[in-house]
């Protein structure tokens, strides 16, 4: 337990978005030059898009997974791992990111609500399998040995994010909710701050700029995640 900003903090929920990985070199979705800028999300990140042009969708996610080899976690990822290790209460980390930078930054528990680039989903045997290299519709599933069923293990628009029950329980019980580097435009994650407030939690936002949900936060720390997150963690660890 920690006394922070006049509150007893025992349970922390942290939500991260593309902004925490920006300084590692991964593009965000909605900033200038962002990932969607040259693509209509509806042509890539929907089940309908995959049915219409699977080749485009495989290429997009294979390229993004390959890019993981060229980037490294930054000080913000590492600071969150340190917080989980040292904080006397509980720290639940939920990310909208499909990269593996939290894990490589030392976090042992990461809830990937939008799936993972390093994973693929087999429609034939309904298992999730590690995606070590490029794959497409002709790739044989390592579990069921059938081709034609593999797709990116990414939660697309119109699909239900993973682990919603567990996330809801964590939000309902938290004393402190921290959102880092997310524009607050995509639900259900954009609604987490209101769920946390409803539970009585103190809410903190770290972002380069004002986001769509900034008005719901008690505390706003404006600046780059690589600076603001380590400072916040130092303050929380007292």
Catalytic positions, written as ranges: 114
Confirm or reject binding of residue 73 to ligand APR (CB under 6 A): no
Of the listed pieces 26-34, 54-62, 79-87, 143-151, which binds ligand APR according to CB under 6 A? 26-34
What's the per-residue H, E or C state across the chain? Answer: CEEECCEEECEEEEEECCHHHHCCCCCCCCCCCCCCCCCCHHHCCCHHHHHHCHHHHHHHHHHHHHHHHHCCCCHHHHHHHHHHHHCCCEEEEEECCCCCHHHHCCCCCCEECCEEEEEEEECCCCCEEECCCCCCCCCECCCCCCECCEEEEECCCCCCCCCHHHHHHHHHHCCEEEEECCCCCCCCHHHHHHHHHHCCCEEEEEECCCCCCHHHCCEEEECCHHHHHHHHHHHHCC
Confirm or reject binding of residue 78 to ligand APR (CB under 6 A): no
Confirm or reject binding of residue 31 to ligand APR (CB under 6 A): yes
Confirm or reject binding of residue 182 to ligand APR (CB under 6 A): yes
Comparison of 204 and 225: residue with beta carbon closer to ligand APR:
225
Comparison of 22 and 141: residue with beta carbon closer to ligand APR:
22
> For ligand APR, which residue of 13, 19, 44, 102 counts as binding (CB under 6 A)?
19
> For ligand APR, which residue of 2, 12, 14, 28 counts as binding (CB under 6 A)?
28
Compute the least distance from the CB of residue 146 to ligand APR, in Å.
Answer: 28
Site residues for ligand APR per CB under 6 A: 17-19, 22-23, 28-31, 34, 41, 96, 114, 181-183, 185-186, 207-209, 211, 224-225
């Amino acid at each position: 337990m920690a006394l922070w900003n006049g509150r007893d903090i025992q349970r922390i929920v942290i939500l991260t978005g593309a902004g925490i990985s920006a300084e590692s070199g991964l593009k965000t979705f909605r900033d200038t030059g962002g990932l969607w800028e040259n693509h209509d999300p509806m042509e890539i990140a929907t089940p309908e898009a995959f049915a219409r042009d699977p080749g485009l969708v495989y290429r997009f996610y294979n390229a993004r997974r390959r890019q993981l080899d060229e980037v490294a976690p930054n000080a913000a990822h590492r600071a969150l791992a340190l917080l989980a290790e040292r904080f006397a209460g509980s720290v639940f980390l939920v990310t909208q990111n499909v990269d593996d930078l939290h894990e490589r930054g030392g976090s042992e528990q990461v809830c990937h609500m939008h799936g993972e680039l390093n994973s693929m989903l087999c429609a034939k045997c309904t298992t999730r399998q590690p995606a070590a290299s490029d794959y497409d519709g002709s790739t044989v599933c390592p579990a069921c040995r059938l081709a034609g069923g593999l797709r990116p293990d990414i939660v697309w628009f119109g699909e239900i994010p993973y682990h919603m029950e567990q996330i809801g329980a964590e939000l309902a019980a938290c004393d402190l909710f921290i959102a880092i580097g997310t524009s607050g435009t995509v639900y259900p994650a954009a609604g987490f701050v209101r769920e946390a407030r409803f539970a009585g939690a103190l809410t903190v936002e770290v972002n380069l700029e004002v986001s769509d949900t900034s008005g719901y936060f008690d505390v706003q720390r404006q600046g780059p995640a690589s600076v603001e997150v380590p400072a916040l963690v130092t303050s929380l660890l007292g």
